[in-house]
């Protein structure tokens, strides 16, 4: 997902497609960090637009009505469109919305779903080959209907041009990651502190302590960098980009990684991506070439060489060994 957003003079445009019966908690956790970012910066960093299926109103599960101010047919100028849904998203069948989502994808708009929203993206056939998550309530039905999807039980997943989030308060964590990638960790912390959201959770975990224990480091810059890495698996960032997002120099960041994890920043990043590649070999039906793309390798031969160096076997051998076990 291209979230770096270098043109800070132009607002990053976010559309929220609200499906009737959406949860206000998921909606508020998505929109409020963006509003606070505008307020705290004194600038219009984020342009927020609302869309509804009937182009007029969307009604929440609690009966609150929100007015649409953008037609989905005119949404191609958006940078990001998030579908927010609750209730029973599997029952949502709207051919016009599905077609519009596919057209927006073809035009380069990043698509995402919150709570039950990823189910609607799956039904629109725009989630193939992308890692994703969904609210636990909807996961069994999603797996039954689309068994080949790369579903995880994470709080949120950012995979190239797709974003998915479990809903509830998880969008607070996802938006922290989004704002971090746009405007740096220091400003993102200011936004999170505004909501007393002082324990920001990583994408793949349930709380920060889990990430601290997993890597045995409590250094804030290292933990924040790992979180950014986990959100940029398919589109790896450079060392200067990683360092800038944590307000450090590349040399300082490298020193911290060597002190805390006994390996350089980019070596750690590469191994993280290869571990995800191993998991995809074992748990998905993606081709080896598709796995190489999904984990950010420029070509298949480079991926295969790196995989063999790390695991002492080719990706195809890893897949065969897993299914024989």
Tens digits of residue pLDDT in 138-194:
887 888 888 888 888 788 999 989 999 999 999 999 999 999 999 998 999 999 888
Residue whose C-alpha is closest to residue 131's, from 106, 151, 145:
151
pLDDT of residue 125 exceeding 80, the answer is yes
Judge whether residue 3 has pLDDT over 70.
no
As assigned by CATH, the class of the 12-174 domain is alpha beta
Specify the CATH architecture of the domain 207-325. Orthogonal Bundle (1.10)
Spatial contact of 163 and 21, defined as CB atoms under 8 Å apart: no
Using the predicted structure, report yes or no on whether residue 207 has a pLDDT greater than 70: no
pLDDT of residue 216: 78
* Domain range annotation of the chain: 12-174, 207-325
- Per-residue pLDDT tens for 253-283? 999 999 999 999 999 999 999 998 998 887 6
- How far is 304 from 288, CA to CA, in rounded Å? 9
Position 209 scores a pLDDT of 46
Task: Give yes or no for a contact between 260 and 283, defined as CB atoms under 8 angstroms apart.
Answer: no
How many other CB atoms are there within 10 angstroms of residue 261's CB atom?
17
Helices (H), the chain: 24-41, 95-106, 117-123, 139-145, 170-183, 185-194, 208-215, 220-231, 239-245, 250-261, 265-283, 288-294, 300-311, 315-324
Q: Would you state the pLDDT for residue 227?
A: 81
Going by C-beta distance under 8 Å and a sequence separation of 6 or more, which residues neighbour residue 91? none
- Per-residue pLDDT band for 79 (boundaries 50, 70, 90) equals very high
Place of tokens 């299926």: 53
Q: How far apart are CA 325 and CA 20, in angstroms?
A: 46
In tens, the pLDDT along 305-318 reads 999 999 999 999 99
What pLDDT, on the 0 to 100 scale, is given for residue 233? 86
The model carries a pTM of 0.73
What is the DSSP secondary structure assignment for residue 218, as one 8-state letter? Answer: -
Q: What percent of the chain has pLDDT over 90?
A: 63
Q: What is the mean predicted confidence (pLDDT) over 218-233?
A: 85
Instruction: Flag whether pLDDT at 247 surpasses 90.
Output: no
Selected residue with higher pLDDT from 218 and 211: 218
């Amino acid at each position: 997902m291209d979230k770096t957003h270098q043109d800070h003079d132009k607002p990053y445009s976010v559309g929220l497609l609200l499906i009737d019966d959406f949860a206000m908690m998921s909606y508020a956790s998505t929109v409020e960090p963006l509003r606070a970012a505008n307020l705290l910066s004194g600038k219009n960093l984020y342009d927020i637009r609302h869309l509804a299926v009937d182009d007029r109103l969307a009604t929440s599960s609690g009966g609150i009505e929100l007015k649409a101010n953008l037609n989905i047919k005119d949404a191609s100028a958006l940078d990001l469109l998030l579908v927010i849904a609750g209730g029973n998203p599997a029952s949502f069948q709207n051919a016009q919305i599905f077609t519009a989502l596919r057209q927006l994808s073809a035009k380069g708009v990043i698509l995402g779903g919150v709570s039950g929203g990823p189910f609607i993206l799956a039904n629109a056939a725009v989630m193939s080959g992308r890692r994703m998550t969904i609210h636990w309530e909807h996961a069994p039905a999603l797996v039954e209907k689309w068994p080949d999807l790369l579903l995880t039980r994470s709080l949120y997943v950012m995979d190239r041009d797709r974003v998915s989030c479990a809903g509830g308060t998880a969008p607070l964590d996802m938006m922290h990651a989004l704002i971090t990638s746009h405007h740096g960790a220091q400003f993102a912390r200011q936004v999170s502190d505004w909501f007393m959201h002082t324990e920001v959770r990583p994408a793949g975990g349930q709380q920060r302590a889990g990430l601290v224990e997993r890597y045995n480091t409590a250094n804030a810059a290292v933990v924040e960098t790992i979180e950014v890495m986990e959100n940029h698996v398919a589109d790896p960032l450079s060392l200067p980009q990683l360092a800038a997002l944590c307000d450090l120099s590349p040399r300082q960041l490298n020193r911290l990684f060597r002190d805390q994890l006994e390996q350089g920043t980019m070596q750690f990043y590469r191994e993280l991506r290869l571990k995800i590649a191993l998991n995809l070999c074992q748990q998905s039906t993606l081709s080896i070439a598709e796995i190489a793309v999904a984990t950010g390798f420029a070509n298949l031969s480079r991926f295969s060489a790196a995989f063999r160096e790390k695991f002492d076997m080719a990706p195809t051998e890893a897949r065969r060994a897993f299914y024989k076990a």
